[in-house]
Structure 1
Amino acid sequence: MSEPIRPSRSSRHGRLARFTAAFVVLLGLAAYVAVHYVTGSKGAPRCSVGSGENTYEFSPEQASNAATISAVGTTRRMPERAVTIALATALQESALRNIEHGDRDSLGLFQQRPSQGWGTPRQILDPVYSSGKFYEGLAKVPGYSRLPLTVAAQKVQRSGFPQAYAKHEPDAALLAAALTGRSAASLRCTTSAVPEGRPGDPAKVRAELARDFGGKAAPKATAGGDAGSAGRSGANASGASLVLSVPVLATTGTDTQRGWELAHWAVARADELRIVEVAYADKVWRASDVSGAWTKAADDGDGTVRIRLAQ
């Protein structure tokens, strides 16, 4: 019987070198994770609503689109149930992403089809327009608020998979409760808006508020200070105010609910609009807080939502 082939010394050394290199890489990765965990460093921006097992997590892009869908609904004086139906529909159709493709010529948040009379491609890809068209269709459904969600959504969408909407109802209900303001301080988000290397644009924030909520929501500039901290300037180098005070004028529900609706809208769109601080009542949200949560703050008593932008 021939003797077994023994590995050469050079091959053993090669395996040992590879093992050592892999071990060093593993140690480096473990150290990186540990440092980021201990220091609270943020990963990719995320948002969440709910608590415990009843939590829905989503991206800032999805949060921004969800906030617009909700704002368009309440501005049309649609009830929270309508907002829930709209959000569940958009979760199923596009995962709350304003996509430029779909089945046949379907587009946008609700996968509406130009060939079926929903509007032009450009219109459908406007979240405000597409949300408005969905609510317009829903309002024509008799007793929609008493129908099962999947039935109400299907009467508007006429989807080939009508039962698919139902699975999104729990997440949509959590989102609607937060974004309509009924559930106070319940939307938590982390963002990439800090460090403040790129300033926010007050004019853009005003325009987006007016588009989503109507002209009455247009904020006023604040002369100085900020949304929840002392000792900072309220203007950038060009003199444009970076602190906006948004009036709380209830269209549905109470003024307090309207205030939380506006405050949550600002947090949901913080990553996109470079918002670093939002304050309302006795709570403040800061982009610098890695938890993304609202914390206790002094209530200035003026009843407005105050938004501070990156400088």
Structure 2
Amino acid sequence: MQTFHTYDVFTDRRFGGNPLAVVSAADGLDEATMQQIAREFNYSETVFLQAATEAGCAWCLRIFTPSLEMRFAGHPTIGAALHLAWQGLLGTLEDGATRTLQTMAGPVPVQFSVQNGQVQSARLTAPEVPTVLPVSLTPAQLAELLALDEGDFPPGVAPVMVSCGMPYLLVALSSREALSRLRLQADAWHRYYDPAWRKLFAFAPDGVLGYVPQQDGVYAARMMWMERDVPMEDPATGGAASSLAGWLASQQEVADGEWRWTLHQGEDMGRFSVLHLTGRKQQGRVLPPMVGGGAVPIMQGQLR
């Protein structure tokens, strides 16, 4: 009999962030059963904890949406890491301690923030260096796809596909107001959809000017896709945030450095989320980005 816990991830308040179910002692579950359980929870992701099979990893994470298994996702990794820490399953953790978790995309190091002996938050390092590929969508096509005006897209900032383990289409907007007006259009989605990226991550400055601040920039974002012609939205997306941090780092002109940004997501759907991003470059190479945040316990029980 498996126990489960649910959390709201990338938030410090109940009913904010992105809901997550964590199922313990899942080694005896086959893929079909895990998929059925994920469909039963019907959260954006459910994570199953298994014994690690890779050297140096503390636990293995199997991450499922209601319809498929994912190689990597940010909010299940952060939520599972905090669950393991709070359950005492990662040993004694000092501030800054790191544990590595196994995913299908590869090992994911997670660093913990600890204050007065209590784990407060976690920060993951994406399993892959960001891959950035151009996308052949014009401002007119994007405007049709998102029910916006061509003037809502900043000149010189083209859409790109970026992956740090999962690919996303990143689309920059000129203002926070345009981000709120965004409405994904089913007809245009069918015309322009590319299975290489599958989901769209739109972002805009939120309290800052420009798109590549050196540090302490604040952005707002919305992650959307179409499912059976119905627009869907995610309140907090760590994988997409990793891609954004990797792209922002790639735009920096200097060869070495570390930059931090705050990302607000979910506000337009009533589930305010805060993600902390870190981008890094070393000798001109973009390193795997980092994404961090907290979580709030919501429910626990048993699967019968």
Return the TM-score normalized by structure 2.
0.26
Return the structure number with greater strand share: 2
> What's the TM-score, normalizing by structure 1?
0.25
Instruction: Give the structure with the larger helix fraction.
Output: 1
Select the structure with the greater relative contact order (CA < 8 A; seq sep ≥ 6): 2
